[in-house]
Amino acid sequence: TLADRYERLTWKNICLFICGLEALCLAGLFSFSKSMIMNGSLYPIFLILVFMQMPLINTAVFYYESHGEHVDFGSARGTGSLAYAFMAFAIGHIIVRYGEQSIITAAVILTAALFAVVFVMPCSAETAGAKKASDGSGAAVTTEVEPTGSLIAFTRKYPWFMVYLLAVCMM
């Protein structure tokens, strides 16, 4: 919703900002590695930030598709799943050999890699929804943003999604 309302907030800017917040969490985890309270607080925040990025990465696909680029989403998802399986295997062995602190090191490396990849991806200020339109005189006119509705309306429209979301949270 914020990205739709403010021109400077593109999927790319938000993703880069979240990478920065992840880096702060990882720095805290590195600095306070002996504190159970800090680990118990920062690690879930880090995971929430990681999960917040997933829809933004998916938004990038729609952004490029709307700008005429063909994206083979199926191959990208398959490659991502394969990379996840490989990374889980490799990090599992690294943890056994070097200890659980290596999880943070791996997260730092992967966050830096994601930041670098997103940073070099091209993105203009306009998104697929055409945040602004020209009125011919060169002045930009912002378009209306449709209201997203309330949580109650969403729950009524998609009750099974909410059950699914509850199940995921319970896991």
Within a 10 A sphere around the Cβ of 111, how many other Cβ atoms?
Answer: 22
165: pLDDT strictly greater than 70: yes
Top pLDDT among 63 and 27 is at 27
Q: What is the pLDDT of residue 124?
A: 64
Which residues does residue 133 pair with via DSSP β-bridges, in sequence order?
141
What is the pLDDT averaged over residues 80-107?
Answer: 91
Distance CA 57, CA 122 (A): 13
Dihedral sign (CA 113, 117, 120, 126)? negative
% of residues, the chain, pLDDT over 90: 30
**Contact yes or no for 128/63 (Cβ under 8 A):** yes
% of residues, the chain, pLDDT over 70: 84
Greatest CA separation for the chain: 65
In this prediction, residue 109 has a pLDDT band, given cuts at 50, 70 and 90, of: very high
What is the pLDDT averaged over residues 123-151?
Answer: 48
| Burial grade of 10 (CB within 10 A; 0-12, 13-18, 19 or more) | buried
> How big, in percent rounded to 5, are the helix, strand and coil portions of the chain?
70, 5, 25
pLDDT in tens, 40-85: 999 999 999 999 888 888 788 888 888 888 888 788 888 888 998 9
Distance CA 26, CA 108 (A): 7
Mean residue pLDDT across the chain? 80
Q: What is the pLDDT of residue 131?
A: 40
Whether this prediction's pTM lies above 0.85 is answered by no
Q: Which two tokens stand for residue 96?
A: 């056994």
In degrees and rounded to multiples of 5, residue 33 shows phi and psi of -65, -20
27: pLDDT strictly greater than 90: yes
**Contact yes or no for 113/105 (Cβ under 8 A):** no
